[in-house]
Amino acid sequence: MRWPNVVAIIQARMGSTRLPGKVLADIAGRPMLWHIVGRVRRASTVGRVVIATSTARADDPVEEFCRAHEIACFRGSETDVLDRYYQAARESAADTVVRVTGDCPLIDPQVIDRVVAVFLAEECDYATNTFRYTYPDGLDTEVFSFAALESAWRQAARPAEREHVTPYLKTSGLFQVRNVENEIDLSKRNLRWTVDEPSDLEFARAVYARLGSCGVFGYRDVVRLQEEEPDLYQINAGRTCNEGHYKSLVTDSAIPPRRQVLTRSHELKARAERLIPSCTQTFSKGPTQFVQGVAPVFLARGQGSHVWDVDGNEYIDYPMGIGPVILGHNYPAVTEAVQRQLQEGSAFSLPHPLEVEVAELLSEIIPCAEMVRFGKNGSDVTSAAVRVARAYTGRDLIACCGYHGWQDWYIGTTTRRLGVPQAVQALTLTFEYNHLESLKRLFAEHPAQIAAVIMEPIGVEEPRDQFLQEVQKLAQREGALLVFDEVVTGFRVALGGAQEYFGVTPDLACVGKAMGNGLPISAIVGRKEIMALFDEVFFSFTFGGEAISLAAAKATLEEMREKNVVAHLWEQGQRLKDGYHVLAREHGVANYTQCAGLPPHTVVMFKDAQGRESLEMKSLFMQECLKRGILFSGVQNTCFSHSPADIDTTLRVYNAAMEILADAIRHGTVREKLEGEPVQPVFRRA
């Protein structure tokens, strides 16, 4: 195949805060940069390799290295790396540029070739394997046209866009971009092969010592080596990808608060207070969950990842309807399906074919789904699971962990139990996540009485020590059904939910929220012999088979299968999570706030110096985000419409909000900086 003039430009300089001089550090008797150049040269698509370093005297050794090894070298701006890259590419008459950094001694020529091939075949402006790390961190390859580079060079203005070369290409929305994913998704392994810290250099040296100093090995060999020697994982575990980019946001131009009017919101709130208890149908959407006077009370419309309040103020949306909107507001494929079905009817006197079609889709997607029944809310199907489990086992007690809705059987375990009889409260027992002994104790105290263990497979905390597998074994041994409440995790952490992601198949599962991209629909799915009891167990209501929501569900699920939506949620959610943590460290508030959970659904938490939840800190951070156009509630649900530009804007806003929070913490003025009443808790678990 005839390739255009493809030039690989390796960004390399001696300055490094964490590991000075790393590009020429010794690995197996040769400078690291020597290994990188040799590996890049073995890529069949690359015609020429150029080192791009700065004109600073400290980088003279890089030029001397290049001269000694007959490697082309370009010297340019130390701080404006985008200009350095552009000038190097222009001088090399490049048609296509391959960007590799000087801290990737394990870069794989075959990976470079694959990204270049995708770039050329799909005729895009920019291709990379870094949007989602299905490859190990350290095989980072970015390929872009000279024309796109020149456009970015002319238009990019923010410091972070000049310092890191490609942010403008990725986030401006002006270019056709593609992500190249590995045939085997290695993202769960968190493989870190880049060199930023002394421990990273130690890891690279260990790999070369085992696989050969000449470096003729591929990334699969390194993966296999780490499988054979698990201790290698621990050498440099726990670092963040692209930390340098996130840190550069701290010095980026600050986003000021905007002028916004909330007149219409306040008028509607006054009317609602006379008619609607709590002014809302959902506690977590109500006025007490936002800083009033700063936050809108009513939203009017949404498009993609953005929403507008009744006064016309625009926000990037992260609650996303408290989870249901997984593709985006007014997503075309779903809107069109709903409009078509609306013209044909919504409620019929006999079942509609969509009931069968969506049930078939769920049975193909969800591992445990042999049969299906539909509901409207998550509470419908969790309560159905409890009822059918009691019928199947002949037992009355339920062991639960997590949040499971508003029905008596669960809400009686919380401080919102008003109106729930004591006799009903006594039928539900709670256990702790990641604490198997607490569940064992329930079985020991109530032998042969527990019908089901119902739990959220993951919330904020990830399972440890095979917790889900051990819960499954325990439930099976004790004769109880295992029910996963996947109302939140279903279709989000994996298309088949957390049960697919963690490889644990429950007896029953409850799904909802994201299933209809904002339309009201849920489902209980599970083993056929259990589900068949719904012939007798009463689970029947007028709108169980309502056709408009079923049409939305079918369109949503088909879109998610065809477009690999889940990968996008992970990609953008990981950037949001990593960026948040880096900014927190840079502002010195990492001990006060953290972003927890799997990337598609994260929760930002705040705590005071004593480790107690701080709603005042949360409120101050929220206030500053709202004033800058981010609808922040503490929960971050990424959707398919959240673009890289959305994430970049959000992190810049988070940087501004975190600077204000950090100053308030230092001076003890968090409460004084609030412009309204702080957020109140909905309830605390009993």
26/149 same-domain check: yes
Distance CA 458, CA 441 (A): 21
Q: What is the pLDDT of residue 3?
A: 63
- Give the model confidence (pLDDT) of 291-315 as tens digits: 988 999 999 999 999 999 999 999 9
Beta bridge pairs of residue 482: 453
232 and 115 co-located in one domain: yes
Query: Are the C-beta atoms of residues 50 and 33 closer than 8 Å to each other?
Result: no
The domain boundary, picked from 541, 563, 585, lies at 563
Check if the beta carbon of residue 44 is closer than 8 Å to that of residue 111.
Answer: no
Answer whether residue 538 shows pLDDT above 90.
yes
DSSP string, 77-119: -SS-HHHHHHHHHHHTT-SEEEEEETT-TT--HHHHHHHHHHH
CB < 8 Å & 24+ apart, contacts of 493-498: 493/458, 493/566, 493/598, 493/600, 493/601, 494/566, 495/365, 495/560, 495/561, 495/566, 496/365, 496/366, 496/367, 497/366, 497/457, 498/457, 498/458
Over residues 522-546, the mean pLDDT reads 96
How far apart CA 57 and CA 95 sit, in angstroms, is 31
Distance of CA 143 to the CA centre of its chain: 24
Distances (CA, A) of 484 to 452, 516, 526: 10, 19, 10
The pairing of strands 72-76 and 48-54 is: parallel
Distance CA 290, CA 622 (A): 8
Burial class for 225, CB neighbours closer than 10 Å (0-12, 13-18, 19+)? middle
- As a whole number, mean pLDDT of residues 319-335 equals 97
User: What is the tally of structural domains in the chain?
Assistant: 3
* Domain assignment of residue 126, yes or no: yes
Q: What is the pLDDT of residue 1?
A: 47
Same domain, 379 and 422: yes
State the pLDDT at residue 685: 41
Full domain range(s) for residue 107: 6-239
In a domain, 39, yes or no: yes
Pairwise CA distance, residues 322 & 175, whole Å: 31
Q: Are residues 211 and 295 in the same domain?
A: no
pLDDT band at 110 (very low <50, low <70, confident <90, very high): very high
Predicted local distance difference test score (pLDDT) of residue 686: 42
Nearest in space to 240 (alpha carbons), one of 192, 180, 205: 192
Average pLDDT of every residue of the chain: 94
Q: pLDDT-based confidence at 233, cuts 50/70/90? A: confident
10 Å Cβ neighbour count for 614?
21
Per-residue pLDDT at 508 exceeds 50: yes
Q: At 684, is the pLDDT very low, low, confident or very high (cuts 50, 70, 90)?
A: low
* 189 and 302 assigned to the same domain: no
- Tell me the longest C-alpha to C-alpha distance in the chain: 84
Whether 529 and 658 map to the same domain: the answer is no
Mean pLDDT of 622-648: 95
Q: Distance between the two ends of the chain, CA-based, in angstroms?
A: 67
Banded model confidence at residue 194, pLDDT cuts 50, 70, 90: very high
Residues 530 and 431 in one domain: yes
Going by pLDDT thresholds of 50, 70 and 90, the confidence category of residue 545 is: very high
Question: Which strand (E) or helix (H) includes residue 32?
Answer: helix 32-41
* Token couple for 318: 């992260």
Burial class (CB in 10 A: 0-12, 13-18, 19+), 302: buried
Same domain, yes or no: 398 and 515: yes
Q: How confident is the model at residue 540 (pLDDT cuts 50, 70, 90)?
A: very high
Q: Exposed e or buried b for every residue in 342-353, given b needs 16+ CB within 10 A?
A: eeeeeeeeeebe
- Residue 389 within any structural domain of the chain: yes
Backbone angles phi, psi at 306, to 5 degrees: -115, 150
- Read off the CATH number of the domain in which 38 is found: 3.90.550.10
| Domain assignment of residue 485, yes or no | yes
Instruction: Establish if 626 belongs to a structural domain.
Output: yes
- Residue 292 is part of a domain; what is its CATH number? 3.90.1150.10
Predicted local distance difference test score (pLDDT) of residue 492: 96
CA atoms within 13 A on the CB side of 45: 22
Average pLDDT over residues 52-77: 96
* Residue 251 pLDDT > 50: yes
**Which is catalytic among the residues 403, 433, 580, 654?**
403
206 burial (CB, 10 Å; 0-12 / 13-18 / 19+) is middle
Q: What would the mean pLDDT of 99-124 be, rounded to a whole number? A: 95
In this structure, are residues 178 and 129 in contact, taking their beta carbons and an 8 Å threshold? no
Least confident of 114-118, 530-534, 560-564: 560-564
Would residue 30 count as lying in a domain? yes
Residue type, 136: P
Choice between 525 and 568, residue whose per-residue pLDDT is larger: 525
pLDDT at residue 239, rounded to an integer: 67
| Structure tokens belonging to residue 49 | 């390799």
Domain boundary among 239, 255, 287: 239
What average pLDDT does range 597-624 have in this prediction?
96
Residue 315 is among the residues annotated as catalytic for this protein: no
Is residue 251 one of the residues assigned to a domain?
Answer: no
- Same domain membership, residue 596 and residue 483: no
77-91, 145-159, 170-184, 456-470: least confident range: 170-184
Do 539 and 584 fall into the same domain? Answer: no
Task: State the CATH number of the domain containing residue 483.
Answer: 3.40.640.10
**3-class state of residue 375 by DSSP:** strand
430 and 292 inside one domain: no
Strand partners, 615: none
Catalytic member of 485, 507, 646, 648:
485
Q: How far apart are CA 472 and CA 504, in angstroms?
A: 8
Active site includes 403? yes
Identified catalytic residue from 170, 376, 513, 618 = 513
CA atoms of 235 and 212, how far apart (whole Å): 19
Res. 248 pLDDT band, cuts 50 70 90: confident
Q: Which of 231-245, 263-277, 330-344, 620-634 has the lowest mean pLDDT?
A: 231-245
Residue 86 catalytic? Answer: no
- How confident is residue 190, by pLDDT bands cut at 50, 70 and 90? confident
Query: Is position 354 within any domain?
Result: yes
For 657, residues 6+ apart whose C-beta sits below 8 A from its C-beta are 620, 621, 624, 625, 628
For residues 163 and 303, state if they share a domain: no
Give strand pairing partners of 99. Answer: 9, 142
Query: Which of 563, 580, 604 marks a domain boundary?
Result: 563
